Amino acid sequence: MNSQAQVIYNNDKPAFVVLPYKDYLVLTGQQNLGDKPEFVPFVLSEYIKNPVRLKRIEAGLNQKDLAKLLSVTQGYISRIESRNYQVPSELLEKVSMAVGKTKHKKLQKKK
């Protein structure tokens, strides 16, 4: 390993270390990836726990669009997407069907 690490201090205490990428790979046990950038996949479901919100975002819809598909208000969608709302299976099924129809329509327009 190379000893060209740079230490960044915060309030006179070491806070971060900047080191050459090759040294980072050795420390983390990764193979040398050459010129390819490191890729970490983003999984939306790891960050969004509410299944209604997850389905809506994956479908590319905003709350107003989903409300229109379900014939409800945007405020209702906002409430069921809140962190503490327990989504009933019947509601999740309705959302899935509405989102599925939207995806189907988008696919037909592309053809």
The string of pLDDT tens digits covering residues 12-42 is 888 888 988 878 777 777 765 555 666 777 8
Q: For 35-65, what is each residue's pLDDT tens digit?
A: 566 677 788 888 888 999 999 999 999 999 9
Is 42 inside a domain boundary? no
Do 102 and 52 share a structural domain?
yes
Length of the chain: 111
- Which domain covers residue 69, as residue numbers? 47-110
Residue 41 forms part of a structural domain: no
Q: Measured between alpha carbons, how far is 18 from 14 in angstroms, rounded to an integer?
A: 11
Say if residue 106's pLDDT is above 80. no
Q: 8: burial class by Cβ within 10 Å (0-12, 13-18, 19+)? A: exposed
In terms of pTM, does the model score above 0.85?
Answer: no
Decide which of 2 and 28 is more confident: 28
Looking at the domain assignment, is residue 56 inside a domain? yes
- The pLDDT assigned to 57 comes to 93
Residues 16 and 60 in one domain: no
103 lies in the same domain as 51:
yes
Q: Which two tokens stand for residue 29?
A: 């046990």
Model confidence at 103, in pLDDT bands (50, 70, 90)?
A: low
**Number of domains, the chain:** 2
One domain for residues 54 and 32 = no
Domain shared by 56 and 92, yes or no: yes
Residue 92 lies in a domain: yes
Nearest to 80 by CA among 95, 61, 59, 69: 95
Long-range CB pairs of 63-71 (<8 Å, 24+ gap) are 65/102, 66/95, 66/98, 66/99, 69/98, 69/99, 69/101, 69/102, 70/94, 70/95, 70/98
The whole-angstrom separation of Cα 75 and Cα 82 is 11
Residues 21 and 69 in one domain: no
